[in-house]
Amino acid sequence: MIFNDRLDAAARLADALSAWRGKNPLVLAIPRGAVPMGAALAEALGGELDVVLVHKLSSRWNPEYAIGAIDEAGHTFVSDPAEADEKWLQQEKTRRLHELAQRRALYSPGVPPANARGRVVIVVDDGLATGATMLAALHAVRAQQPQRLICAIPVAAPDSLRKVEAGADETVCLYAPWNFQAVGQFYRQFEQVEDAEVIACLKQQETRQRGRRNPFSYSRQKPHG
């Protein structure tokens, strides 16, 4: 299975999640790549969009290797304890928490994160490689006591998919090929998503949400005379 781009993947996920259409699910996208997908998914399902901010924790020996992940509240998931030197881990957590605080201020200044308590929550990413980031996101959302927690991804490495399934009430994955090497392998177009696009998606969705909450909030002109 090959997706044309992230919007194509989002449309296919929306079909798979159609049971939640019109029930105002909270769609939480993992930045940055999944945010345009999350926006399209929220629009298709009639839901609300926000981001769930998590950051990988890197190995001290290889910055590209994720040994776990952390969310903006400081909850940590460590996927490779053998690499988790305590001193290094504490330094890494401090660095990443600072970055997450900066990212929240950039994406939604002055606006608190959406409250997941008692809601149907769909956490979406554009794919699972190690699964560490998604696991951290699911742990973060679970702590808010949602009514139902759903993990939605277009494509995943089979081993990683099995790991994240335990963290969600429901997992929707469209494709888990045995020959998985990288997420981008299954997209014809897989350009990097920039911060400006994330901010635009969130602002657009907030405008739509205000419109849904206040459908008659337009200015009325007084009649002449």
The three-class DSSP label of residue 128 is strand
Residues 36/201, Cβ–Cβ less than 8 Å: yes
Q: What gap in Å lies between CA 204 and CA 1, rounded to an integer? A: 31
Q: What gap in Å lies between CA 13 and CA 73, rounded to an integer? A: 28
Residue tagged 């554009």 (tokens) = 126
Torsion of CA 12, 24, 75, 77, to 10 degrees: -20
Residues 131/163, Cβ–Cβ less than 8 Å: yes
Band (225; pLDDT cuts 50, 70, 90): very low
What's the pLDDT tens digit per position in 99-155?
A: 999 999 999 888 888 899 999 999 999 999 988 889 889 988 998 899 999 999 999
Q: What is the domain partition of the chain in residue ranges?
A: 6-213
Integer Rg of the chain from CA = 18
What's the pLDDT tens digit per position in 19-72?
A: 999 999 999 999 999 999 999 999 999 999 999 998 888 888 887 777 888 888
Residue tagged 């951290």 (tokens) = 136
What's the pLDDT tens digit per position in 66-100?
A: 788 888 888 887 877 777 678 888 999 999 999 99
Q: Which option is the CATH number for 6-213: 3.40.50.300, 3.40.50.720, 3.40.50.2020, 1.10.1740.10?
A: 3.40.50.2020
Residue 211, pLDDT above cutoff 80: no
The answer for residues whose C-beta is within 8 angstroms of residue 106's C-beta and 6 or more apart is 195, 199
Query: Is the C-alpha dihedral spanning 83, 88, 94, 95 positive or negative?
Result: negative
